[in-house]
Structure 1
Amino acid sequence: MINFRDLFLLFLFTLILFSCSENEPQESSAQQSGTPVAGYEVIQQDLSRTVSASGAVEALHIRIAGAPFAGIIESVDVEEGDEISRGDRLAAYDLTETEAELRRSEAQVHEVRQRVERIERLLDGDAISRSEYEDVQAELAVAEAEKEVWQTRAELGVVRAKTEGVVTERYIEPGSPVSANEQLFRIEDTSTLVIRAGMSELDVIHIDRGDSVRVYLDAYPDQPIEATVRRIFPSAESSSRRFLVEVALTNSPEIIVRPGFMGRATFDVDRREKTLAVPSEALLASQRGEQFLFKIENDSLVRVDVEIGVARRNRTEITSGLLEGDVVVGTNPTNLNEGAHVRITEWIE
């Protein structure tokens, strides 16, 4: 005889079986309610083409301090790496001979002037002719000119900086004999540093003066430096057939940049900063060659014909057919059909 407890357990077991049989079809139906797809929201992207060109960092203004005349260098006051200002003393000649010649010429000028004064008195008394007076005046002019030569030579005997900057090369030592116009120092004005990068004619036509450029130095590979196109050389180099583009680096207190550093200047060419784009694999082509994709509306697929532009970095520009914010099937749409019911299981970034 079945008691009340056994009847209760039998009822409970039957209820559990019935509940499971009801839930299984619902779960299966929910799982099959739509084909899983990867979704992509159409947004504006930067599809500008980038081109990189290498070059060495250089000072925009470079001065070569040359020897004003032949002689012996007595002292050198600066060395490589020294920062200098305009008018600073760089080196000095041995001016022993120059100073002696200057004293001699000064004495000669003094002597000729005394003769001129005597002749002027005689001229007033008609004791000498006008031609004799003019001869002495000419002699005085020659003596004064010679004095100026030696005086100028004495002043130039102290070589001074004609600009501010950093001494990057020193070609002389104390006691060095030098000839006129021989190079003594190389001085670079590091307040403005540039990179001159060579570019092909296909790329240089897309670059304008004032364009922003990113520069990556080998010394700081993870710290891009902002730069600006300063000028574009008017003709190609004969050897490489490339056009030099000069970019000026922006000063940064966090990064010490020195002339000679190697770097890569990255240019944005064919600018397309705000472009609607989709993953390239989202596009399909009809038998007539028309481009289309599937837009997701209310969990259903709608075919949308589109016009496309450039394709870069696995993204294709959409010039018409879509609006910002539209959601499309982002990948593997080949086996899908218009009107199919879908559900988004993942999003493509």
Structure 2
Amino acid sequence: MMRTLSLLLTGVSLVTLSACSAPPTAAPPAPPTVQVVQPVQRDVPVTTELVGQALGSQDVELRARVEGFLDTVAFTEGTLVKKGQLLYKIDPKPFQATLANQKATLATWQARYDKTANDVKRLTPLAKQQAVSQMELDNAISARDAAVAQVDAQKAAVERASLDLGYTNIYAPVDGLVGTTKVKPGNLVGRGESTLLTTISVINPISFRVGVAEGEYMRLARRQQEQKAAGTWSPIPVQLVLADGTVHPHAGRLDTVERNVDPTTGTLAMQLTFPNPQRLVRPGQYGRVRFDADTKKGALLVPQRAVQELQNLYSIAVVGADNKVSFRNVKVGPRVDSLWVIEEGLKPGEKVIVEGLQRVREGAVVTPTPASEVK
């Protein structure tokens, strides 16, 4: 009996010891820590960028106005030339001969006129005295009038020959950058057409031509009208961003707007002018013009890293008062440095996750900590 009781007590002791040595239940994991910021609210300029191409503020084509053999190319290609500088010379000898011949013909007709004028003077009193017939006087007067017409015509011929001779020397009509010559010495120019010789471009100031979408133009035009009506309008300074990403050191201005919208592209051509004293910008260069088209009052901005994009849909993660995460689709606006304007889907003072997005899901509880200040 005692032995049976001892065995029973031993079994109860083993069960008790086994129960005491069981592992404790694991505690739930702590909520993930995320970094949050509140959106910055401030006025943000809305910047517009347009792609375009530079062209000379004045592009002048030099053409041969007379036919002849090119004697001389008197300039260095691709350099700056001055107004009045001799650039080309066409063989002048045929034109000199033509001018001399026209002058001789003019002298002949001038002599004929002098003779007929003297005949009229001599015959006029004799006709009054009926010493000569009226027919003789009338013939003399007709011969004098014909000689006058021939003298006038020959003077015009001499002037034309003089102009043609002058056209054999071709001078720069403006100060500018001259291109390469299209014709070399010894070639015949001007036969049947005014041969293109070269082009001179005025590049200080330089022009820049861009195309603006029809809708964007309407917004800009309306804003300008509103500002003029309110008396707050002033010319908008325009920056030129060159192909290497640098900004042209001189601000430009709007020069002209094309008359009509291009029906093939739906854009309206605008021409801007930029000072170019270093002659750095050349015709044909591509670039971008940048200007502040509008100002968003009280815009909300968050760091760009807080915005997630998927198939042109943008979303942010917001931590509520109960520390739960909610994902929201938002409408984004322009970017400002490292920030992004949120136009819809966010309110001032809300907490937006900027670090730890990969560790959270919809409805998850998190521990928010402030991130570095948004600037």
TM, length-normalised to structure 2: 0.63
Change in CA separation of 1:257 and 1:122 when aligned onto 2, cut-off 3 Å: same
Change in CA separation of 1:295 and 1:85 when aligned onto 2, cut-off 3 Å: farther
Q: Classify the secondary structure of the residue corresponding to 1:240.
A: coil
CA offset at residue 233 of structure 1? 2.0
Change in CA separation of 1:224 and 1:162 when aligned onto 2, cut-off 3 Å: closer
Corresponding residue for residue 42 of structure 2: 44
Number of residues of Structure 1 aligned to a counterpart in Structure 2: 289
Corresponding residue for residue 302 of structure 2: 279
CA offset at residue 75 of structure 1? 1.6
Give aligned-pair identity as a percent.
16
**What do residues 81-106 of structure 1 show as CA deviations (whole Å, max 9, x unaligned)?**
13222222221221111111211222
Choose the corresponding residue for 2:73, options 72, 76, 79.
Answer: 76
CA offset at residue 336 of structure 1? 11
Q: Classify the secondary structure of the residue corresponding to 1:101.
A: helix
Contact 2:39 2:302 in 1 (8 A): no
Q: Classify the secondary structure of the residue corresponding to 1:62.
A: strand
Alignment of 1:184-263 (within 5 A): 184-208=197-221, 210-218=235-243, 220-225=244-249, 226-251=251-276, 253=278, 256-263=280-287
Corresponding residue for residue 326 of structure 2: none
Change in CA separation of 1:169 and 1:130 when aligned onto 2, cut-off 3 Å: same
Q: Classify the secondary structure of the residue corresponding to 1:137.
A: helix
Choose the corresponding residue for 2:57, options 53, 57, 60.
Answer: 60
1:86 paired to 2:83: yes
Change in CA separation of 1:312 and 1:149 when aligned onto 2, cut-off 3 Å: closer
1:183 paired to 2:196: yes
Contact 2:69 2:91 in 1 (8 A): yes
CA offset at residue 346 of structure 1? 4.0
Q: Which amino acid aligns with 2:300?
A: A
TM, length-normalised to structure 1: 0.67
**What do residues 206-255 of structure 1 show as CA deviations (whole Å, max 9, x unaligned)?**
3358533332211x3133553333233232334333322322224364x8
Q: Which amino acid aligns with 1:81?
A: G
* Larger CA deviation: 206-215 vs 135-144: 206-215
Q: Which amino acid aligns with 1:171?
A: K
Q: Which amino acid aligns with 1:315?
A: V
Residues of 1 paired with 2:371 and 2:266: CA distance? Answer: 53
Alignment of 1:108-147 (within 5 A): 108-126=105-123, 129-147=140-158
Residues of 2 paired with 1:214 and 1:132: CA distance? Answer: 73
Q: Classify the secondary structure of the residue corresponding to 2:78.
A: coil
**What do residues 300-349 of structure 1 show as CA deviations (whole Å, max 9, x unaligned)?**
x9xxxxxx99644333259x986xxxx65343799799xxxx98564333
1:151 paired to 2:162: yes
Residues of 2 paired with 1:131 and 1:98: CA distance? Answer: 34
CA offset at residue 169 of structure 1? 3.7
Residues of 1 paired with 2:162 and 2:82: CA distance? Answer: 25
Corresponding residue for residue 21 of structure 1: none
Q: Counting strand residues as a fraction of each chain, which structure ranks higher?
A: 1
Contact 1:45 1:273 in 2 (8 A): yes
Q: Classify the secondary structure of the residue corresponding to 2:219.
A: coil
Q: Classify the secondary structure of the residue corresponding to 2:149.
A: helix
Q: Classify the secondary structure of the residue corresponding to 1:174.
A: coil
Gap regions ≥5 residues in structure 2? 1-32, 127-136, 225-234, 308-317, 324-329, 355-359
Contact 2:38 2:350 in 1 (8 A): yes
CA offset at residue 36 of structure 1? 8.7
